[in-house]
Amino acid sequence: MVITRHLLWTLPNPKTAIKNWNRVLRDGGYAIIIDGIWDDGSLNTRVRRFISSLGILIFEQANPWEGHYSKELTASLPNASGTSLKESRQYLKNAGFSKIDAYDISHIRKIQKQYMSFWKRIGYNYDYYMLYGKK
């Protein structure tokens, strides 16, 4: 079994990585991907993130931009804003996986939000999923 969480966006060549997962798995093995879209580019997301960042900066006295990746690094990643369920499904299919299906994990996001500050919850509105495929 190969299990990844929030990994696809960090890979400069996710197609190659997923093909390699298929290569190293035994017959009947599974690849499980937990991922999502972190920034859909919508006005809603931009406004939520701005308000969230401003609240964190003012009320929590923390720098919400600390630790962000450079523009150069982000530009080298094809999924820097996250990977959609549709795209991840296609990656698995193209790599030769079968019996590909998704599992709704929105309940996990709800639990995570319970432990975040009010200001972080405002910006935390991601499309989140678990996808799996069989070799």
Distance CA 135, CA 129 (A): 20
**Spatial CA neighbour of 128 closest among 82, 95, 71:** 82
**Spatial CA neighbour of 109 closest among 119, 88, 123:** 123
The helix (run of H) or strand (run of E) holding residue 83 is none
pLDDT in tens, the chain (135 residues): 999 999 999 999 999 999 999 999 999 999 999 999 989 999 999 999 999 999 999 999 999 988 778 889 889 999 999 999 999 999 999 999 999 999 989 899 889 999 999 999 999 888 889 999 999
Is the four-CA dihedral 20, 23, 25, 31 of positive or negative sign? positive
**Cross-sheet strand order for the sheet of 30-37:** 2-5, 30-37, 127-134, 98-103
